[in-house]
Amino acid sequence: MSTAASSRFRIFRGFNAWFLESQLARALRRIVCLWPPPEQTIDSLPMLFKQSILEGIAAGKVTLAFRRWKRIAVRKGGTLTTSVGVLRFGAVDEIAPDKISSRDAKRAGFETVAALQKALGPDDERPVYRIAFKCVGEDPRIALRKDSDLDEATLAGLRRRLARYDAAASRSWTRESLKLIAKYPGVRAGDLAKRLGVDKDGFKINIRKLKGMGLTESLEIGYRLSPRGTDQRFRIESEGVRR
């Protein structure tokens, strides 16, 4: 390497080292970490609750949750629709795991702090967040599920929405998923996903979309079609649900 080239390389290396430690670099890294913006809806995977916790929420005993996140997944004032009602988030604060109190553990649905920390899993350098929430209304999907007397305009809207879901995916899935749930009610999501040849997490995200339309409902294990989903005028084989 020539003297001039070597000098340029040293200058570049020095600039690169400075930039990586600069305020600008830290600001850019923060922007990247915050994009895309965190979800505040039912599709927010980090805020799924086990059935036992949902029962505690319904009883008014559970008003806190703790999660390990790379970035905050919900915001104060955001909402989450669950099978026991709509939750509105309050304060969302980072907390050291060893600062979690026994009172907070019970408010999160755990008998002891140790049980809660076990549920959080091992320390993998992701921060732990304490999320407060309260139930502010019934699950609007319940009314949708029960409404099986669908007029033509409602049917057409449902069919268009299913068609959009299929068009946006790499493969059509709405018809197959509805037929599978009709055939195998109460079967674990992982087993259903295997039958479709898809991963479990992706399958569960898709089923939540159908649930949001009032077509399916969750059981303690697996799913079943709702009255709306099985309505005679909304058969799975309907010609309006296209691949």
Q: Quick one: average pLDDT of 99-119? A: 96
Domain co-membership, 132 together with 151: no
φ and ψ at 222, to 5 degrees?
A: 80, -155
Q: How confident is the model at residue 230 (pLDDT cuts 50, 70, 90)?
A: confident
Three-state DSSP at 185 gives: coil
For residues 240 and 243, give the distance between their C-alpha atoms in angstroms, rounded to a whole number: 10
Please say whether the beta carbons of 70 and 45 come within 8 A. Answer: no
Strand partners, 65: 131
The boundaries of the domain holding residue 202 are 142-234
What CATH number should be reported for the domain holding residue 95?
A: 2.30.130.30
In the chain, how many domains are there? 2
- Structure confidence by residue, pLDDT tens digits, 122-133: 988 899 999 999
Residue 232 scores a pLDDT above 50: no
Sheet-wide strand order for 79-82: 64-68, 128-137, 85-95, 79-82
- Structure confidence by residue, pLDDT tens digits, 72-100: 989 999 988 887 889 999 999 999 999 99
Average confidence score pLDDT of the chain: 80
Could you tell me the pTM of the whole model?
Answer: 0.55
Last residue of a domain, one of 108, 138, 168: 138
- For residue 36, cis peptide bond before it (omega within 30 degrees of 0): yes
For residues 207 and 199, give the distance between their C-alpha atoms in angstroms, rounded to a whole number: 12
Q: How confident is the model at residue 28 (pLDDT cuts 50, 70, 90)?
A: very low
For residues 78 and 214, give the distance between their C-alpha atoms in angstroms, rounded to a whole number: 22
AA letter at 137: G
Q: Which of 14-23, 80-89, 143-152 has the lowest mean pLDDT?
A: 14-23
Residue of higher predicted confidence among 97 and 21: 97
- Structure confidence by residue, pLDDT tens digits, 39-67: 333 233 457 888 899 999 999 999 999 99
Please say whether the beta carbons of 181 and 223 come within 8 A. Answer: yes
- Say if strands 223-225 and 216-218 run parallel, antiparallel, or are unpaired: antiparallel
Domain co-membership, 166 together with 97: no
As a whole-number percent, the residues of the chain with pLDDT over 90 amount to: 47
Q: How many CB atoms lie within 10 A of CB 177?
A: 25
Domain co-membership, 133 together with 146: no
What CATH number should be reported for the domain holding residue 160?
A: 1.10.10.10
φ and ψ at 110, to 5 degrees?
A: -120, 145
